[in-house]
Amino acid sequence: MKIKKIGVLTGGGDAPGLNGVIRSVVLTAINDYDIEVVGFEDGFSGLIRNKYRVLERESVSEILHRGGTILGTSNRDNPFHFPVRSNGQVTYQDVSDEGVSNLKKLGVDVLIVIGGDGSLRIAKEFSDKGIKIVGVPKTIDNDLGATDVTFGFNTAVTTATEALDKLRTTVESHHGIMVLEVMGRYGGWIALHAGLAGGADVILIPEIPYDLEKVKEKIEKRKSQGKLSSIVVVAEGATPVNGKYTVDKMMEGRTEPIKLGGIGQVVAQQLVELTGLEARVTVLGYLQRGGSPTSCDRILSTRFGVMAVKQAVEGPWTTMVALHGQSVVTVSLDEAIKQLKKVDCKGELVEVARAIGVNFGK
């Protein structure tokens, strides 16, 4: 079939590189295929409320270096579980047919959804309703199983590494323990990569339940060697042996209602009690999502956008673009959302970290 109009939206949390994808989608569609592009605002909310804008070359000028997304995003407005307020009460309803209707009225032939596992699951449900879908993987957590890397990850790791470089000088001045809590949900990718790059002494990740007695031994061994300070990087989803995740709060209506957080403070307080040393905590939080994307993420997001348009034009649909090795390929949406990608506890990076003395609390 002849593709005349493509829709694009960004769903879930923001990530550095989103604007790079939007830019390359628009420029490729116009330059190579003479296809019109419309962007839906604020994720799937814009699709349901019919909030969109036509994207021209001028719309995406000078946005490659910008963080965030010019279209806006949301992780609360799942069309299949959409918040509807009536008489002061909020109920959740399936309003996905409104989205389907809006796409048909606009004449959108293919919808490009840029998002993480939650957004891509919603995209798959729309494909089951007959909408032609092409997904683009986005998450700073790097936990989508069907792609080697997601854009946004490199920027998040760079931000965390720079934070560790700065924290090192202050903890060395006070001869104590510095705990840095980073994002990552149920995967330890950011913690592992940033911890290695930043020279952390201890890295705690969800894939390896920790025993703080082992961490205490590491810190005391360093002290006996004349090293009076230690740096601990802890992923927000890290858990103690036989323990549970540390939950900040539950957020009804979100694609992922569990908001992890607070593990850094828990670990720091327990290390104070175990070692008698002073421990300070830094929670990096949303700094990992913000700011200009690195050159790696700018290039990867651009490559993903170009391939997404090519796939939208040529088919097959119900697919997601992905990076396998050095090549951008496509995989089925079913494969894309099948399972989250976890750190291999016996993989090379973990073994490298162990070889240079990094402690994983085990």
- Enzyme catalytic residues: 141
How far is the CA of 232 from the CAs of 55, 158, 314, in angstroms? 45, 17, 48
User: Is the CA virtual torsion 166, 150, 210, 239 positive or negative?
Assistant: positive
Express the helix, strand and coil content of the chain in percent, nearest 5 each: 40, 25, 40
Per-residue DSSP letter, 228: -
Backbone dihedral region for residue 58 (phi beyond 0: left; psi -120 to 50: alpha; all else: beta): alpha
The residue whose two tokens read 């089951």 is 128
Say how far apart CA 304 and CA 270 lie, in whole Å.
44
- Say how far residue 309 (Cα) sits from the centre of its chain: 22
CA 17, 19, 22 angle in degrees (round to 5)? Answer: 115
Distances in whole angstroms, Cα of residue 248 to Cα of each of 5, 157, 260, 281? 42, 22, 5, 16
Per DSSP, helices labelled H in 175-294 are: 189-197, 212-224, 263-275
User: Hunting for tokens 């270096």 — which residue is that?
Assistant: 65
The amino acid that residue 62 corresponds to is E
Kindly state the tokens that stand for 300. Answer: 């990867």
- In angstroms, the CA 284 to CA 156 distance is 10
Q: For residue 151, what is the DSSP state?
A: B
List of E strands, the chain: 5-10, 36-40, 52-55, 82-86, 89-93, 110-115, 133-137, 177-182, 202-204, 230-235, 247-250, 258-260, 279-283, 319-324, 327-332
169 burial via Cβ count (<10 Å: 0-12, 13-18, 19+): exposed
